[in-house]
Structure formats: C-alpha cells, structure tokens
Amino acid sequence: MSESSIKKISVELAYALPDVQALLKIDIQTGSTVQQAIEQSGILRQFPQIDITQDKVGIFSKVCKLDRVLSQGDRIEIYRPLLIDPKQRRREKAEKAKAEAAQERHKKAPDPKSDTI
C-alpha cells in the first residue's frame, strides 16, 4: 500500500501551562491511538515535563486511556497534575475569608477600656 493511499484523519492536541499554551493540528493514520498521536506530534520534545505514563489525557474534556482509537476531529488534551485538591483549596479560601472578616470586625469594635465618663 503506497503512502498516498493510507487514510488519514486530522486531530488537535492541546496542552497548557499557566503561561504557555499549545494547540497542535496533526494528520495521523486512521486507526491511530491517543498515545501514537501524542508521540507523533512532537509535543513531548516541546514540553519535556509531560509524562504520558503519569499525566492523564482526554478527548474533549473526558478522560480516556492512551490506547483509545481516535476519530476525525478529536481534540486530545494532556492534563497537568493538580497541585492541590480543589476541595481543599476552597476550604482554605473560605477559612482565610472567615479569618479576615473576624479581623475586620475586631478592628471596628469599640475598645471597652477607652470608655471614659
């Protein structure tokens, strides 16, 4: 089978850091997997911190396995590990806000020792 007769599909590959984002469009052979597309895209050279054995991947925001066969138009997303659990982060934020509100109330409360008659 000649190279020109091999069926190809187009997919996108997305990866984002806080200050840099990459969205690559690649053509791959029909029947290719998520892992094959990632490896063929060159993104692992561009972002050496990506570890597809550890980092989760997905298609259109739905986590999938590396051996998932791709379809025309799929967007592969490589997810970075979370630095902190979102529930824990919300809890810490609420506790901080509560402490700050208590400090503000304490600042505005009149000092009972300063009352003179």
Could you give the CA distance from residue 88 to residue 93 in angstroms, rounded to a whole number? 9
Round to the nearest angstrom and report the end-to-end CA distance of the chain.
102
Give helix then strand counts, H and E, for the chain: 3, 5
Predicted pLDDT at 85:
75
Write the pLDDT tens digit of every residue in 87-106: 888 888 888 888 888 888 77
State residue 107's pLDDT score.
75
The mean per-residue pLDDT over the stretch 62-66 comes to 97
Q: How confident is the model at residue 79 (pLDDT cuts 50, 70, 90)?
A: very high
Nearest residue to 80 (alpha-carbon basis) of 10, 11, 12, 20: 20
Q: Which residue has the tokens 């590990």?
A: 81
- Cβ-contact 54, 81 below 8 angstroms: yes
What is the pLDDT at residue 69? 98
Stretch 11-30: mean pLDDT, rounded?
95
Q: Which CATH superfamily is domain 3-78 in?
A: RnfH-like (3.10.20.280)
Q: What residues does each domain of the chain span?
A: 3-78
pLDDT of residue 1: 52
- Supply the pLDDT for residue 90: 86
The answer to whether residue 34 scores a pLDDT higher than 90 is yes
